Amino acid sequence: MKFTELGLSDNLLKAIKRSGFEEATPIQAETIPLVLKGNDVIGQAQTGTGKTAAFGLPVLQHIDPKEKSIQAIVISPTRELAIQTQEELFRLGKDQRAKVQVVYGGADIRRQINALKRAPQVLVGTPGRLLDHIRRRTVSLKNVKTVILDEADEMLDMGFVDDIESIIHETPAKRQTLLFSATMPPAILKIGEKFMTDPKVVKIKAKELTTDLVDQFYVRARDFEKFDTMTRILDVQAPELTIVFGRTKRRVDELSKGLEARGYNAKGIHGDLSQQRRMSILRQFKAGKLDILVATDVAARGLDISGVTHVYNYDIPQDPESYVHRIGRTGRAGHHGVSVTFVTPNEMDYLRVIEKLTKKRMSSLKPPTEREAFIGQISSAVDNIEDLVKKTDTSMFAKKAEELLKEYEAVDLVSALLNEMTKDAANEVPVKITPERPLPRRKSKHFNHGGGRYNKKSYSHKDNNNNHKGKKEKNRDKFNRRQKSKRKYTIRSKNN
């Protein structure tokens, strides 16, 4: 469904277009009309399905920019999600002139207090820091029209239920409440019963994969090996239109610059780029003037790009649903697609859970050798030369060509052309990609309920060893302290 069909204002539609979004995701298509009507909504959908815009767009439409008070509050479980939500709402609400502020723990509270004096209409925050501001009276929620609980099941897991209830009690009884969660345990439904009025339930099923149209591979490689391995695979597979996914903004910047340095036609997009820059890059990619788009999940969310032949997951996503969302970019409209996921040895458990979700075993892909990559480059160059010859009016250059053939051997001329049309060897253009912190061995809730061979029990032996080691160290420290105090006592006794 198009965003133009959802009853949104022209200002918001302008922001949506500027962000590159075209088609509404299922959660957006079902949620936006309900929120615009003023209904309370319980939305069940996985991460990466566009929930922020689903609640953000209608909430921004209800905002009165002339009113200098907080009219909507978004409660998020983590500082990272809170920042991400604030950034997206700020971009979408720019034409509405809505002020969006974020508050979270671990940051200078005085700076946040000064920012709050500028009277934002939308406040995004983590439960602890929101309560802190309420108690300091630096935040008033008496004019709040809408309360949004984002990733409610995660907040439940983190023990924030009491904090959430305390925050909601500070808002007017007559308000709109929206709750979004990947799962619906009884405790979440209790919150719905307690604080919501006749909520409409929107449940989006996990996206089904057309697995027969997407060949899924994985490459096992250590972090520092991944870039060289990926460029060799690019040379061998010669994809037409490619998206490379990186976990962080820094990763996207380094990957796109590294690919450009190696001679690939690549550019990166993420949330820190200006909207004008993002749109310019996306236009180039859609028009086929750019071969490789490097992106974060957030930057690529909601983009409708056809013709993508390959998706490379440089970093395996922590959330298996994000994997589904990523590789859904290819294998569309009956066309065949390929996905390649790079996995470090300690991330294999994440891979197995993804396989369980997609109900398809990924094939292991052996990294190509330098020689195989070179052969791939030559083959691609030959194809390009054939296309070039077909579309060139050779009669215009025939005389000069004959002169060159008299001066040089034909083999030397063609070799020089092939050399020009192939990339430099990897060892001639070194690229350094900063290592990212590895994904935690202790998995999130998405990975706790059935990681194939890698479930909670798989780690019990290792965890017990770690705990045992910790006890030994504690006991040794206790023993040393006792010995110290004995020595002190003996010295005092002798002195006395």
**Binning pLDDT at 50, 70 and 90, where does residue 454 land?**
very low
- Find the mean pLDDT for residues 133-150: 95
Confidence check: pLDDT of 294 > 80: yes
Confidence check: pLDDT of 275 > 70: no
- Find the mean pLDDT for residues 266-271: 89
Q: What is the pLDDT of residues 194-241, one digit of tens each?
A: 899 999 999 887 555 445 678 999 999 999 999 999 999 999 998 989
Which carries the bigger pLDDT value, residue 6 or residue 454?
Answer: 6
CATH topology assigned to domain 3-203: Rossmann fold (3.40.50)
Let me know: does 342 contact 313? Beta carbons within 8 Å: yes
**Binning pLDDT at 50, 70 and 90, where does residue 425 land?**
low
- Find the mean pLDDT for residues 407-416: 86
Amino acid type, 48:
G
Confidence check: pLDDT of 40 > 80: yes
Let me know: does 178 contact 55? Beta carbons within 8 Å: yes
Distances (CA, A) of 236 to 4, 175, 477: 42, 58, 57
Range from 54-63, 157-166, 171-180 carrying the lowest mean pLDDT: 157-166
Report the chain's mean pLDDT, rounded to a whole number.
Answer: 82
Range from 19-23, 86-90, 363-367, 450-454 carrying the lowest mean pLDDT: 450-454
Q: What is the pLDDT of residue 60?
A: 96
- Find the mean pLDDT for residues 312-317: 94
**Binning pLDDT at 50, 70 and 90, where does residue 267 land?**
very high
Let me know: does 404 contact 450? Beta carbons within 8 Å: no
Which carries the bigger pLDDT value, residue 152 or residue 423?
Answer: 152
**Binning pLDDT at 50, 70 and 90, where does residue 283 land?**
confident
- Find the mean pLDDT for residues 146-170: 90
Q: What is the pLDDT of residue 121?
A: 96
For the four alpha carbons of 21, 25, 28 and 30, in that order, the dihedral sign comes to: positive
- Find the mean pLDDT for residues 317-328: 80
The 3-class secondary structure across the chain, one letter per residue, is CEHHHCCCCHHHHHHHHHHCECECCHHHHHHHHHHHCCCCEEEECCCCCCHHHHHHHHHHHHCCCCCCCCCEEEECCCHHHHHHHHHHHHHHCCCCCCCEEEECCCCCHHHHHHHHCCCCCEEEECHHHHHHHHHHCCCCCCCCCEEEECCHHHHHHCCCHHHHHHHHHCCCCCCEEEEEECCCCHHHHHHHHHHCCCCEEEECCCCCCCHHHEEEEEEECCHHHHHHHHHHHHHHHCCCCEEEECCCHHHHHHHHHHHHHCCCCEEEECCCCCHHHHHHHHHHHHCCCCCEEEECHHHHCCECCCCCCEEEECCCCCCHHHHHHHHCCCCCCCCCEEEEEEECHHHHHHHHHHHHHHCCCCEECCCCCHHHHHHHHHHHHHHHHHHHHHHCCHHHCHHHHHHHHHHCCHHHHHHHHHHHHCCCCHHHCCCCCCCCCCCCCCCCHHHHCCCCCCCHHHHHHHHHHHHHHHHHHHHHHHHHHHHHHHHHHHHHHHHC
Q: What is the pLDDT of residue 466?
A: 41
Phi, psi (5° rounding) for residue 250? Answer: -60, -40
Q: Which residues lie across from 202 on neighbouring strands?
A: 43
Confidence check: pLDDT of 458 > 50: no
Q: What is the pLDDT of residue 86?
A: 92
Q: What is the pLDDT of residue 365?
A: 93
Residue length of the chain? 496
Q: What is the pLDDT of residues 84-139, one digit of tens each?
A: 889 889 989 988 889 999 999 888 899 999 999 999 999 999 999 999 999 999 99
**Binning pLDDT at 50, 70 and 90, where does residue 403 land?**
confident
Q: What is the pLDDT of residue 469?
A: 45
Confidence check: pLDDT of 326 > 50: yes
Q: Please, where in the chain does CATH 3.40.50.300 lie?
A: 3-203, 211-368
Q: What is the pLDDT of residue 1?
A: 82
CATH topology assigned to domain 211-368: Rossmann fold (3.40.50)
Percentage of the chain modeled with pLDDT above 70 = 83
**For residue 221, what are its two tokens?**
């490689």
